Amino acid sequence: MANLKHLSLICSILVLATISMPQGHCRVFQPNDVKLIEETCKNTSHPDLCIKLLETDPHSSSADVNDLALILVNVIKAKANDTMNKINELLKGGADEKGLLSSCANKYKAILEGDVPLATQALQSGKPEVAAFEVSHSVVEALSCEDDFTEKSPLFDENNVMIHAAEVTRDIIIQLL
């Protein structure tokens, strides 16, 4: 009987402690949580960048590997939009290399209108090999934009960000094969 009283007292204390604990001290661990992100990213060409890009999206902590790839395809889309905005600013500002910048605009348009939607659709329909191809094409487009210039382009930073983000995305998609 004394053991039952002790057990009842312990249970009451645990319930009271749980109820009175501030919400900020509680954390529900997701099954995939940060560990999946770290494990997945360590198998990419740029693990630190991979973690950085995924941690900025609140959905990544509860995502599976396919969802992580979709999140990164959206990162590619955002980076391509940022680059298109810079190209448009440079063209409006009377840049000297209008022809080369227009060529880069076409390459980034191909990323936005072709590569990103096709990679997204492929990941959603369980065709990672197609998604990997489309994301690899984004790398080629950004490299081609940079290589069009005889010297460092005015889009050098944006091209490098796109190249590395697309490489990380491709590396994660390959893990789905």
Lowest mean pLDDT among 15-29, 42-56, 120-134: 15-29
Cβ-proximal residues to 72 (8 Å cutoff; 6+ apart), any chain? 50, 53, 54, 165, 168, 169, 172
Task: Return the DSSP state at 58.
Answer: G
| 165: amino acid identity, one letter | A
Give pairs for 85-94: CB < 8 Å, separation 24+.
86/154, 86/155, 86/158, 87/155, 90/154
pLDDT band at 34 (very low <50, low <70, confident <90, very high): confident
The region that residue 63 occupies, defined by phi over 0 for left and psi between -120 and 50 for alpha, beta otherwise, is beta
Kindly tell me if the per-residue pLDDT of 5 is higher than 90: no
Q: Using alpha carbons only, what angle is made at residue 153 by residues 118 and 41, rounded to the nearest 5 degrees? A: 45
Cβ proximity of 70 and 123 under 8 Å:
yes
Predicted local distance difference test score (pLDDT) of residue 19 = 37
pLDDT per residue as tens digits for the range 88-130: 999 998 778 999 999 999 999 999 999 999 999 999 999 999 9
**Average pLDDT in the 6-22 region?**
39
Kindly tell me if the per-residue pLDDT of 153 is higher than 90: yes
- pTM confidence score: 0.80
Query: What gap in Å lies between CA 84 and CA 86, rounded to an integer?
Result: 5
